[in-house]
Chains A and B, each alone.
Chain A
Amino acid sequence: MKGPAFDVIDEVLLTFDAGRGTQKVKYRGELFPAAAAADPPGTLFRDFFQRDRDGNSKGISVIDLENFA
């Protein structure tokens, strides 16, 4: 099994209700799994958020939590 330690993750971060409302109330932001397959040919969620509504590229900041100190 790969992935984070779910026994210590705040359940709120794993709550994906309408508009991620629960996450936004507690953290003023929302979290998506970076490895999520948003697109079968291989585009990840991370790539989904790198396109604006018009399909143009846009920059995002990626924080590597494993090496974040």
Chain B
Amino acid sequence: MITNERQFQISKAQIAKFRAAIDAPDSNTRTLHPQAQKALREAAQSQLDDLLVEVADCERLRDGQLTAITVESIADLAPALIKARIMRNCTRKELADKLALAEQQVQRYEATQYKGVSVERLQAVADALKLRLREVITFELL
């Protein structure tokens, strides 16, 4: 997931590079076996598709059209908090300021997907982002 402007710009630059590599393959690839050339082209296209999806997801989060995130498990809560920050157009620095933390601490939280962070801290992050969590817990049949 793209989580900040720098990553967004790097991903867009990578898209341009992959597109260029697909449109105008390196001349030395012409000496390769046709199947190798095909593999190179399709591998590059596959990686390009990944990047396009990531950039599109980020743009969708930023454009403010989404109003809710559905999580299916507690493990999904961390990526949801990261997405919510992006949806709020809130930088890591701004979130850190609201939590009276150093920016690096928020960077660590997100880099580790909030690993080992207390429930109270997660709630504080949700509050800082003005999120309302509405939990629905359903019971599976035993």
Contact = CB atoms under 8 A, between A and B. Distances in A.
The answer to whether A and B belong to the same complex is yes
Interface of A: 1-4, 6, 14, 16-20, 32-33, 35-40, 42-43, 45, 48, 53-55
Contacts of B6: 54-55
A48 B20 contact: no
Contacts of A36: 21, 29, 39-40, 43-44
A50 to B, nearest CB: 13
B42 A16 contact: yes
Contacts of A4: 33, 36
Interface centre among B33, B40, B50 (most CB of A within 10 A): B40
B51 to A, nearest CB: 10
Contact of A55 (B3, B10, B39, B40): B10
The 3 closest A-B pairs by CB, nearest first: A37-B26, A16-B46, A16-B42
A1 B33 contact: yes
B59 to A, nearest CB: 16
A20 B17 contact: no
Nearest to A41: B17
A45 B43 contact: yes
Nearest to A45: B43
B91 interface: no
A17 B39 contact: no
B2 interface: yes
B25 interface: yes
B43 A16 contact: yes
A66 B7 CA distance: 36
B25 to A, nearest CB: 6
Given A4-B33, A18-B46, A53-B11, 11 more contacts: A2-B31, A14-B35, A14-B38, A16-B45, A18-B49, A19-B50, A38-B17, A38-B21, A40-B21, A45-B47, A53-B3
A1 B99 CA distance: 60
B89 interface: no
Contacts of A18: 46, 49
